[in-house]
Amino acid sequence: MTQTLASSQSAARSVAWAARAHSLSGKLWFLAAAAGQLMFIYYILVAYVPKTLVGQFERWDEVGLIKGYEAGDGFGNLMFITHVLLAAIMTLAGLMQLTAPLRNWAPRLHRMSGRVFLVLAVYLALGGLWMVWGRGTRLNDIGAIASTLNTGLILVFAALTVHFAVKRDIARHRPWAMRLFMVANGVWFMRLFYGAWLLSVGPVGVSGQMNGWFDIFLAFGVMAIPLAGLQLYLSAQKSRSAALKWSSTLVTLTAAGLTALGGVGATVIMWGPHL
């Protein structure tokens, strides 16, 4: 009996230690992601706002866009710059959603930022869909199909997030909101993946038309990889299995390291030269 009790206590301690490590790994990923997202916001503000305010719209293309400013296309130009600037607001609102102390200290602000994030995620997804297929802002159809799939996921996840929020089923609302965060930040994730890849191995599988093998893999992987990592994290969070928690901890720590590396790569290669 004593031996059984001691074994049970040891297993409980093992699960408790695994849970602490798992929680810490999530916080480390958040810190790496927050740094990368704040840099992304800063890049948008510096690269686009001053040029827009002084009416130098043609200078949007200095950052190497597929299609930014186009003479005579007033509506398309307006949609483009609105899309870019609102992306900065959406990114900040999403970051506020993941900031745990904000949920506790300012629940009203948390709810407000959540609504802003959700509305902008849907608007930007639909606007992006129009720019890809209506304005022709694409280099190849495979990337456009992947972008369309991402839009579909955003709309589905947003609907489920709202559905469970209205029902006040927070336990089911939270994971769908986190899934929405992952797919709504697809553009940011893509830059991070490219940043980490280019710093690690160089332009292997990458082409100027974004139709290299790595480009095609990433077009879909930018959705699948973050969602898979999140699902593992959420499953391990609910599980009583120490082995699953440790496995998820290892994956999340790896993700934190790659996110930090990708943030550095994106800053050095993509954003920094235009700041």
Does the pLDDT value for residue 273 go beyond 60?
Answer: yes
What is the token pair recorded at 216? 């095609």
Q: What pLDDT band is residue 269 in, cutting at 50, 70 and 90? A: very high
Residue 147: partners with Cβ closer than 8 Å, 6 or more residues away: 128, 129, 132, 138, 219
Does the pLDDT value for residue 42 go beyond 50?
Answer: yes
pLDDT of residue 5: 47
Q: What pLDDT band is residue 31 in, cutting at 50, 70 and 90? A: very high
The answer to whether the beta carbons of residues 262 and 195 sit under 8 Å apart is yes
Sign of the torsion formed by the C-alpha atoms of 115, 27, 248 and 150? positive
Q: What is the mean pLDDT of residues 114-134?
A: 96
Mean confidence (pLDDT) of the chain: 93
Domain boundaries, the chain: 21-274
Q: pTM of the predicted model, to two decimals?
A: 0.93
pLDDT one-digit tens code per residue, 149-187:
999 999 999 999 999 999 999 999 999 999 999 999 999
Q: What pLDDT band is residue 261 in, cutting at 50, 70 and 90? A: very high
